[in-house]
Structure 1
Amino acid sequence: MMKIINKCTATLLDSMGDDLSVANAARVSFDKWKDELDGKDERLIAYLASHNHWTPFTHVQVKLRMETPIFVARQWFKHQVGVSRNEVSRRYVDDEPVFYIPDKFHARPEGGIKQGSGSVHFHSHEMRGIAIDRSAEARARYLADIALGIAPEEARMFLPQNTVTAWVETGSLAYFARACALRLDTHAQNATRQLGWAVAEAVKDIAPLSWAALMEKYL
């Protein structure tokens, strides 16, 4: 049976640092260091974020596993500064593909805008059925090629953009805040915004004062 998902996910694997790490990284300029967080640190963190002193926020590191359709991954991968990532490769694995199919399909936006989407298309339900059929056909052909002994790196060529991929990425709090802010913009594609919200949910409690300050600056 074909597996379908309708949302992007981000799962916290590991982290290093917290709000005190951010405050101490800034405070070291004056050769100061503290062992406990207090009210002054909250004001310091807010000041750092609002005045674009971003380097202290890089001392909090986060590792996530993310699962999205290929087209979302390629948008997210445009963010290169402050992050390292490794993706599952279908050159080496030939497990059954999973497909992303949204609950609703949308019309093109009005006014000659080249990107984005408008309201829910009046054929959305029918389009979802078509998307399921197309994905099922791609799945069947892929599995048939693998069964014939075709190399996975070549069989993968015919899988569609809505095939789900997964990767692990490690980045700083500053990186994740910047990436989320861009991908949570109302002009971003809905599937990409899903990933932005999933990342924000996974990261927000690691250094909550710092995350709130950074996201207030960006959003």
Structure 2
Amino acid sequence: MVDVRYKSSVEVEQIQSMGGDHMVVAAARVSTQGADALQYADEASSAENSGLINYLMKHRHGTPFEHAAMTFFVHAPIFVWREWHRHRIGFSFNEESGRYKTLEPVFYIPERDRPMMKVGEWKPGRPKFLHCEDDSVFDRFVEMKKTQYESAYHSYLNALDMGIDPGLARIDLPVGIYSGCWVTCNPRSLMAFLSLRTHEPDNAKFVSYPLHEIELGARACEEMFSKGWPITYRAFCDNGRVAP
């Protein structure tokens, strides 16, 4: 009997980081310093570089933020990837393939405190949800999902044992199954992602209402971004969390 596992998280691991705030400054200074731009950025004062980055962010001069990159390994349910893959500009993805490997029996189950009950004024674009106050409803939902997950995964394994093409055997698997993917992006594309996939009603110029689970991943990426590009990140937040 296969041990089906359940998780409520979206896990993000930083694989690599290329560049930093100084690269943003250097890219912007190419217009005036040419081949000496990188040296100029390294020799400029911290205050001067901070001022330039804030100016670029405020006035939305975006290309200097494209000359660096981050790579993450993200482990998330398929229904999260359905949304994450919509971010195409400045993003590269390499996902594990159900055609070439047996998918792990790891499935998503929400935590009890996840807002999940629709309210009367719910509408697309600005959905509102409340916590499930009836424990019996939550328990019934979770038990239903677990039963479906286990049945689907055992059907998948049976198909593989029959010699069925793995690309076809997987069709029973639900979008709650986890998949791992390398995600590479530049700071500009990441800021666009963060502006749409985090809910910041007090700080964002344009308030977004993301899916709870993709926000978990976005918050993890944001934490790593804030450490690798502290000046850029501060300018992003100070200017309404709008990507330049």
**TM-score, normalised relative to structure 2:** 0.84
* Superposition CA RMSD, Å: 1.7
Residue 48 of structure 1 pairs with residue 56 of structure 2: yes
CA distance change for structure 1 residues 215 and 165 in 2, over 3 Å: closer, same or farther?
A: farther
2:195 alignment partner, SS class: helix
CA distance change for structure 1 residues 218 and 163 in 2, over 3 Å: closer, same or farther?
A: farther
Report the equivalent of 1:201.
223
CA distance change for structure 1 residues 215 and 78 in 2, over 3 Å: closer, same or farther?
A: farther
Percent identical across equivalent pairs? 27
Give the alignment of 1:91-106 within 5 angstroms: 91-104=99-112, 106=116
Contact preservation (8 Å) 1:173, 1:211:
no
CA distance in structure 1 between the partners assigned to 2:18 and 2:193 by the alignment: 19
1:43 alignment partner, SS class: helix
Give the alignment of 1:70-219 within 5 angstroms: 70-104=78-112, 106-114=116-124, 116-121=127-132, 122=134, 123-185=137-199, 187-219=209-241
Contact preservation (8 Å) 1:178, 1:218:
no
How much does 1:131 deviate? 1.4
How much does 1:114 deviate? 4.3
Of 106-115 and 4-13, deviating more is 106-115
How much does 1:38 deviate? 1.6
CA distance change for structure 1 residues 117 and 157 in 2, over 3 Å: closer, same or farther?
A: farther
User: Any gaps of 5 or more consecutive residues in structure 2?
Assistant: 200-207
Output the amino acid matched with 2:13: T
Output the amino acid matched with 1:207: W
Output the amino acid matched with 2:220: A
How much does 1:113 deviate? 1.9
Output the amino acid matched with 2:28: A
Output the amino acid matched with 1:9: E
1:80 alignment partner, SS class: coil
Output the amino acid matched with 2:159: D
Residue 38 of structure 1 pairs with residue 40 of structure 2: no
Contact preservation (8 Å) 1:177, 1:215:
no
Output the amino acid matched with 2:67: H
How much does 1:81 deviate? 0.6
How much does 1:56 deviate? 0.8
Residue 5 of structure 1 pairs with residue 12 of structure 2: no
After TM superposition, the runs of 4+ consecutive aligned structure 1 residues lying more than 6 A away are: none
Contact preservation (8 Å) 1:88, 1:165:
yes
User: Any gaps of 5 or more consecutive residues in structure 1?
Assistant: none
CA distance change for structure 1 residues 96 and 184 in 2, over 3 Å: closer, same or farther?
A: same
**TM-score, normalised relative to structure 1:** 0.93
1:63 alignment partner, SS class: strand
How much does 1:218 deviate? 4.4
